Amino acid sequence: MSTPAYFSKYPTIRFERSDDGILVMSLHRDGGSLTFSAAEHDAYVDAFYDVGRDRANRVVVLTGAGGNFITGIDFSTFGDISDPDVWSKVHDEGTQILENIANIRVPMIFALEGKAHVHAEYGLLANIIVAGESASFNDLPHFAGGIVPGDGVYTLWSHFVGPGRAQAMMLDPQPLSARDAKALGVVAEVVPDGEALPRALEIARSWLGKTDLNLRNTRIHFMQPIKERIVREVGYGLSLEGASATALVRTMRAAS
């Protein structure tokens, strides 16, 4: 199987694909844990689109390097987010990333080690989540940081755990352990630390005997209600988030 050009296109994603079509996407920064920046916000729109349109991918496994998924975010890289032109780019990329992950038309597994404290919603768009014992979810950038959680994180959490619990999670962000996430039905399996990716690959291999149409159409069926919510809610949510970001910047400038 030839190596697609996109495998070497994105500096913070390591792509590895088995001969039988299991694609592993590992997010990283120089081989270690990823701190998210504007560069990733831009590039990941195309990265997930490229993965979704490549029909040689039969199962996709999303994970992170360095013992974590995404641990933090560098807001300074986004520029002046109170500028409508700057936020327009953030808005478009934010909606397109989620749409493009949801449009990956083969089953996805999220193999989580460590922290998914930024953009946990990327992992929530997988069909199965396998988490290490010490793994945790959180939402650091939004309400606690002074902005509306409008980029889809509320949409995805409310879909899986209900609106009341999701609102409490957004308004008082605390790490949600892998065990607690499993009790809520979000995580499918909790495994010893370091075993999330091997277990995800084991599950992926168990699906390879299915026809491509079975794999693809099952994913499409499962994702349809989620895609409807993304289209309905995330663009509006990011507009609200942008307004709150502008207010936050102005308040910070007035205080300095």
The single residue of 40, 93, 113, 121 carrying the catalytic annotation is 121
Interatomic CA distance for residues 217 and 139, integer angstroms: 31
Q: What is the DSSP letter of 29?
A: B
Closest CA to 98 of 238, 240, 243, 204: 238
Q: What is the DSSP letter of 33?
A: P
The CA–CA distances, whole Å, from 126 to 103, 123, 179, 212 equal 11, 6, 18, 18
List Cβ neighbours of 246 (8 Å cut-off, separation of 6 or more). Answer: 81, 82, 87
Q: What is the DSSP letter of 102?
A: H
Q: Annotated catalytic, 241? A: no
> Are 16 and 62 spatial neighbours (Cβ–Cβ below 8 Å)?
no
Other CB atoms within 10 Å distance of the CB of residue 23: 23
Residues tagged active-site: 121
